[in-house]
Amino acid sequence: MAEHPVTAGRLERIVTEIAEEMAAQTNRGKVADYIPPLARVDPAHFALAVVLPDGTTISAGDCTMRFSIQSVSKVFTLALALGKMGEQMWSRVGREPSGDPFNSIVQLEYERGLPRNPFINAGAIAVTDSILSSYMPKEALGEILQFVRFVAGDEDIAIDPAVARSEQETGFRNIALANFMREFGTIDGPVEQTLGVYFHHCAIAMTARQLAMAGRFLAYDGCLYPGGPRVIAARMARQINTLMLTCGHYDRSGEFAFSVGLPGKSGVGGGILAVAPGQAAIGCWSPGLNRSGNSELGSRALERLAERTGWSVFAPR
Ligand SMILES: NC(=O)CC[C@H](N)C(=O)O
């Protein structure tokens, strides 16, 4: 049985222990190889960073190394879009787990171009397109980056241009998804512009520590930190957490919710952002992926962290 509350000292031991255990794992999954800059990343990396309510950060492993956040960026674009457009957002994208791979196109046809949720590629492209109804593409990208820097409290976060270029050169399936949705009217801007912004926000690079910091507003009901400035309405922060829990890991979302019990969002760069509401924001990175495109060790590490801290959205506090 985990101790309550978890002290910083005990958490330090837990995080160090988990990093040591992960270093010894032999089944590390498979690094994404659809673009060269991701294929080159060494699967030996592992990082775990936990930020507590008072801002104390506890970390272990390669916490100062940057990685491509990829689909984790969909959390930030959703927060930005919800903040700008409110409930109107939901006319373009659903809130139902897809049970399909992140880049699947099949449901789009029989569900008349309405993506199941904002975290599969189709849904995230629709969210990005909605941001473009208020901004020109360059401005939209600037807004997204500025939002991420603001919530992370860190100006030293940027887009990796080599990743963005590779995404653009190989993104045929995303191009198909966008064109399909354009035909149904789910997206209304020029497809190339929407995709340009999408590919670039997927190419944001961050460290596990920066990612944990950037997720804090979700742990504190939409405030930057406890008692801090409001980023988004509490209701919206709760909606995003709910979607992370139900849809954050694609066709393995049920499994992640079952074994970790916390909202989480993964990306094919091997990053996972997880949120223990009221208690902590967590950034985890290990580039080897499971078959659904989620970090293999990241998922395992978060399961152990939740178990040893007792953190769960289903536990009494
Ligand atoms: N799951 C992911 O991280 C996918 C993001 C990737 N950029 C894509 O669009 O395919």
Write the pLDDT tens digit of every residue in 49-75: 999 999 999 999 999 999 999 999 999
Residue carrying structure tokens 């080599």? 162
For residues 264 and 303, the answer to whether their CB atoms sit within 8 Å is no
Ligand 1 pocket (Cβ < 6 Å) reads 70-71, 102-103, 121, 167, 174, 202, 267-268, 293
- Statement: the pTM of the whole predicted model exceeds 0.90: yes
Two tokens, residue 27: 């089944």
From the candidates 15, 268, 286, 295, give the one annotated as an active-site residue.
268
Separation between Cα atoms, residue 234 and residue 242, nearest integer Å: 12
Q: Is 198 annotated as a binding residue?
A: yes
84 Cβ partners below 8 Å, 6+ apart? 130, 131, 134
> What is the pLDDT of the chain when averaged over all its residues?
96
Two tokens, residue 91: 């006319």
Kindly state the average pLDDT of the residues 295-300: 98
Nearest-Å Rg of the Cα atoms of the chain is 18
pLDDT of res. 78 = 98
DSSP string, 12-74: HHHHHHHHHHHHT-S---EE--SSHHHHTS-TT--EEEEE-TTS-EEEEESTT--EE-GGGHH
Q: Is 51 annotated as a binding residue?
A: no
Residue nearest to atom 8 of ligand 1 (CA): 121
At residue 137, the 3 state secondary structure works out as helix
Q: Which of 35, 38, 103, 251 to mutate to test the pocket of ligand 1 (most atoms within 8 A of CB)?
A: 103
Residue type, 180: F
pLDDT of res. 13 = 98
Q: Which domains does the chain have, with CATH numbers?
A: 8-67+205-309 (3.40.710.10), 71-202 (3.40.710.10)
Write the pLDDT tens digit of every residue in 233-246: 999 999 999 999 99
Residue type, 222: G
Q: Is 295 annotated as a binding residue?
A: no
At residue 203, the 3 state secondary structure works out as coil
The DSSP symbol for 167 reads: H
For residue 230, the cross-strand partners are 223
What ipTM was estimated for this complex? 0.96
From the CA of 24, how far away is ligand 1's center (Å)? 28
Q: Is the pLDDT of residue 4 over 70?
A: no
